[in-house]
A and B are shown apart, each in its own frame.
Chain A
Amino acid sequence: MIKDIFVMGLEAMKSYKIRTFLTLIGVIIGVASVIMVTTAGGSVSSFIADQWNVFNPTGMVIGTGTGGATPQLSIRSVVFTTNDVEKIQNLPSVKTVAPLGVVPLNKILKRDGFLKWESRPGEIMYASTPALLEILNLNLEEGTMFEEGKNEVVISKNVAEVFGKDKPLHVGDTIYLRRVDSKTLEAKVVGILKESSTANMFNALSTPGIICPTKPYYSSYFGSNVGTILKRVVGYTVLLAEATDTKHVQDAQDQILKYLDSGGSDANQYKDQNSDFVVITQQYILVRIEQVLSVIRTYITAIALISLLIGAIGIANIMFATVTERTREIGTMMAIGAKRRDILQLFLYQSTIIGLLGGLFGCMIGASGSWFVVDLLNKNIQNLGGALSTGTIQLTYAPEWFLIASVVGILIGVAAGVLPARKAAKMDPVVALRYE
């Protein structure tokens, strides 16, 4: 009998094709938008998380700023000395540490023939140690890493082509670097960096144009006053470090902070009294990003759920209209032996079928719509240019949302149908039969 009443409900819906179709569209849009929004949101989240993948998972940056639960880095004061670098290198949970000094260049020059020079506007050059490559997850396409104390540099692909794509610089070429203090330094190109495969918005940082050894390029430039003490030491604003493995990131961070805060470190003497030492790990960056993203995701999902709610109201509305319109039919059915339960089922099945079909088609349209939305976002990212124009958003479906959306679709069908169906079942057959 349940099957017969189910078929009756189906037949009735077939007779009201346009009405059923429009109600269905309401649910489909609701379910599809939940899926599209959550899928697009998830895909964008992982894209953004990738953008912030600056270091190795074990990587961290050491500097000064404001400490506490949400540390802030302010790259201002030059406090870390070569001595500090050595001491941190010897901490048990630290694998490598590399100083990072900035050497702004006015010009990059190349000898073209005998007395002719070719010149290009300069870039920012990073002075560090060979360990930098590992911390920033970089590889050499050709050549070798520079040696400390030698006039050697490693350059990026972009810099290699600075004098024209048709005449790129090669390993072994000699270039001249004019610093902002007008001193010109000779440098031999010993290596060319491979372009990073995992592109992110920090490529400018993580794929520097030119990397040089601190000696002779940096030490001779910045070896002046540090803090208030007149003493010729080499100082850095930030250090980059790597923990021995992912499990020891926290240990490494604690050990570094403990060392820096102790009286034994040079940095502790040179730093401003009001600032703290700050260590920001890659793990911390990702956790923070995830927090921000989850707020955004929650917000967007809430909006999408509203459209599901509207779909539900659509079902309830149409079912109420149908019940009212079919009042005399309901009276007739009761007169020929229908029980209240039969009438309740008849209308409940109809709204459930709408919820079920809406959930099903909504999932299908949501899946293809997500693809479309992510494609659109990717096109827009390419149009943005600049720092963000790297990488593409990967479409990542969240299966749990397909389940949630379709289950909610069915539940909405049932829930939205309950009141109208009860209204139908509670009718007084005498009154219903008289209804015009």
Chain B
Amino acid sequence: MSEYVIDIDSLTKIYQTGKTDFKALNTVTLKIRKGDFVAIMGPSGSGKSTLMNIIGCLDRPTSGTVIIDGENISIVSDNELAEIRGRKIGFIFQKFNLIPTMTALKNIALPMVFLGGTTADRDRRAAELLGKVGLTNWATHRPSELSGGQQQRIAIARALSNNPSIILADEPTGNLDTKTGEQIMGLLVALNKEGKTILLVTHAIALKRFANRVINMLDGEVSEKS
């Protein structure tokens, strides 16, 4: 296996919008080492969301190769892609995206459901992660009963449940006040110290300081000045 946890070579993504083609990513080559904390920055429409979706195995490249933790995602089936997503990637969204009908504990356990195992094992692991994000007493609460910061911490716990190698955080502080945002960033930094590779997509320049590597995107191309 290569030293890169994310190995992207000449990635192009073209969207067909009506009659005209839109090139969202233009021959992007990007290699990210295990344990990196990478901030991907750029204005909206620069292609950072598209890059994020492809790294997150939600979308496939039009051309080029993308290898995520040793898996070439261009050549796998839909089911395998879902499996890779579940095992190797933890998503953190701007709007938390918790399932409103489930308790905090069940939300954390949900990614494990899709990979099998017993309910007891999953609940034990979920409770452990709940402790890790400091919300042990909130296990039976539903998302609507939690603050934004608490919801995002539940989302982080959920992202960790299958012990993925990569955490994808898409504007994780976008819906939070500055103080709570700092706390969430603190959690991500701690995770990075434990060895997780973290990709932070944001256009908040203030968050640059948490990353050890900053990638700027503009018009579907990447540039780096670190």
Indicate if the CB atoms of A339 and B91 lie closer than 8 Å: no
The interface residues of chain A lying within 8 Å CB-to-CB of B158 are: 336
The reply to whether the CB of A205 lies closer than 8 angstroms to some CB of chain B is no
Interface residues in chain A, defined as those with a beta carbon under 8 Å from any beta carbon in chain B: 1, 4-5, 8, 11-12, 14-15, 328-329, 331-342, 429-430, 433
The reply to whether the CB of B82 lies closer than 8 angstroms to some CB of chain A is yes
A319 nearest CB across to chain B (Å): 16
The reply to whether the CB of B110 lies closer than 8 angstroms to some CB of chain A is yes
Closest to B110 in A: A336
Indicate if the CB atoms of B101 and A336 lie closer than 8 Å: no
Tell me the complex Cα distance, A429–B116, Å: 21
The interface residues of chain B lying within 8 Å CB-to-CB of A14 are: 101
A15 nearest CB across to chain B (Å): 4
Tell me the complex Cα distance, A135–B100, Å: 77
Q: Which of B53, B87, B97 is in CB contact (< 8 Å) with A430?
A: B53
Q: Which of A5, A8, A429 is in CB contact (< 8 Å) with B58?
A: A429
The reply to whether the CB of B93 lies closer than 8 angstroms to some CB of chain A is yes
The reply to whether the CB of B99 lies closer than 8 angstroms to some CB of chain A is yes
Indicate if the CB atoms of B91 and A335 lie closer than 8 Å: yes
Given the interface pairs A335-B56, A335-B91, the reply to whether A12 lies near B101 with Cβ below 8 Å is: yes
The interface residues of chain A lying within 8 Å CB-to-CB of B116 are: 1
Given the interface pairs A4-B113, A337-B82, the reply to whether A328 lies near B100 with Cβ below 8 Å is: no
29 contacts between A and B (CB under 8 A): A4-B119, A11-B102, A15-B100, A15-B101, A328-B97, A329-B97, A329-B99, A329-B100, A331-B97, A332-B98, A332-B99, A333-B114, A334-B82, A335-B58, A335-B97, A336-B86, A336-B110, A336-B111, A336-B114, A336-B159, A337-B87, A337-B111, A337-B114, A340-B78, A342-B114, A430-B53, A430-B59, A433-B58, A433-B93
A376 nearest CB across to chain B (Å): 43
The interface residues of chain A lying within 8 Å CB-to-CB of B102 are: 8, 11
Tell me the complex Cα distance, A8–B100, Å: 12
Indicate if the CB atoms of B99 and A338 lie closer than 8 Å: no
A267 nearest CB across to chain B (Å): 84
Tell me the complex Cα distance, A425–B44, Å: 29
Closest to B50 in A: A430
Given the interface pairs A430-B53, A430-B58, the reply to whether A333 lies near B110 with Cβ below 8 Å is: yes
Tell me the complex Cα distance, A5–B112, Å: 12
The interface residues of chain B lying within 8 Å CB-to-CB of A8 are: 102, 113
Indicate if the CB atoms of A340 and B82 lie closer than 8 Å: yes
B56 nearest CB across to chain A (Å): 7
Tell me the complex Cα distance, A435–B87, Å: 25
The interface residues of chain B lying within 8 Å CB-to-CB of A12 are: 101
**Chain B interfacial residues counted at CB < 8 A:** 30
Indicate if the CB atoms of B100 and A339 lie closer than 8 Å: no
The interface residues of chain B lying within 8 Å CB-to-CB of A333 are: 99, 110, 114
The reply to whether the CB of B115 lies closer than 8 angstroms to some CB of chain A is yes
Tell me the complex Cα distance, A14–B142, Å: 14
Indicate if the CB atoms of B97 and A339 lie closer than 8 Å: no
Given the interface pairs A11-B102, A430-B53, the reply to whether A337 lies near B83 with Cβ below 8 Å is: yes
Q: Which of A338, A429, A430, A433 is in CB contact (< 8 Å) with B114?
A: A338
Tell me the complex Cα distance, A429–B101, Å: 20
Number of A-B contacts (CB under 8 A): 74
The reply to whether the CB of B17 lies closer than 8 angstroms to some CB of chain A is no
Tell me the complex Cα distance, A188–B99, Å: 94
Closest to B113 in A: A4
Tell me the complex Cα distance, A341–B80, Å: 12
Closest to B59 in A: A430
A323 nearest CB across to chain B (Å): 14
Rank and list the top 7 A-B pairs by shortest CB-CB distance, nearest first.
A337-B86, A15-B101, A336-B111, A332-B97, A337-B114, A339-B82, A429-B58
Indicate if the CB atoms of A337 and B99 lie closer than 8 Å: no
A427 nearest CB across to chain B (Å): 11
Closest to B112 in A: A337
A343 nearest CB across to chain B (Å): 10
Tell me the complex Cα distance, A335–B164, Å: 13
Q: Which of A15, A334, A337, A430 is in CB contact (< 8 Å) with B115?
A: A337
The reply to whether the CB of B79 lies closer than 8 angstroms to some CB of chain A is yes
The reply to whether the CB of B85 lies closer than 8 angstroms to some CB of chain A is yes
The reply to whether the CB of B162 lies closer than 8 angstroms to some CB of chain A is yes
The interface residues of chain B lying within 8 Å CB-to-CB of A339 are: 78-79, 82-83, 114
Tell me the complex Cα distance, A1–B118, Å: 8
Closest to A331 in B: B97
Indicate if the CB atoms of A433 and B119 lie closer than 8 Å: no
B154 nearest CB across to chain A (Å): 13
A337 nearest CB across to chain B (Å): 2
The interface residues of chain B lying within 8 Å CB-to-CB of A331 are: 97
Closest to A337 in B: B86
Tell me the complex Cα distance, A328–B95, Å: 11
Given the interface pairs A335-B56, A340-B78, A430-B53, the reply to whether A1 lies near B113 with Cβ below 8 Å is: yes
The interface residues of chain A lying within 8 Å CB-to-CB of B59 are: 429-430
The interface residues of chain A lying within 8 Å CB-to-CB of B99 are: 329, 332-333
Tell me the complex Cα distance, A15–B102, Å: 9
Closest to A436 in B: B95
User: Which residues of B110-135 have CB atoms within 8 Å of chain A's CB atoms?
Assistant: 110-111, 113-116, 119
Closest to B116 in A: A1
Tell me the complex Cα distance, A15–B106, Å: 14
Starting from the known contacts A333-B114, A342-B114, 13 additional A-B residue pairs (CB-CB under 8 Å) come to A329-B99, A332-B97, A333-B99, A334-B85, A337-B85, A337-B86, A337-B87, A337-B114, A337-B115, A337-B162, A339-B78, A341-B79, A433-B58
Tell me the complex Cα distance, A228–B78, Å: 97
User: Which residues of B57-87 have CB atoms within 8 Å of chain A's CB atoms?
Assistant: 58-59, 78-79, 82-83, 85-87
Closest to A332 in B: B97
Tell me the complex Cα distance, A334–B106, Å: 16
Indicate if the CB atoms of A335 and B100 lie closer than 8 Å: no
B80 nearest CB across to chain A (Å): 9
Indicate if the CB atoms of A336 and B83 lie closer than 8 Å: no
Contact flags B27-52 to A (C-beta < 8 A → 1, else 0): 00000000000000000000000000
The interface residues of chain B lying within 8 Å CB-to-CB of A337 are: 82-83, 85-87, 111, 114-115, 162
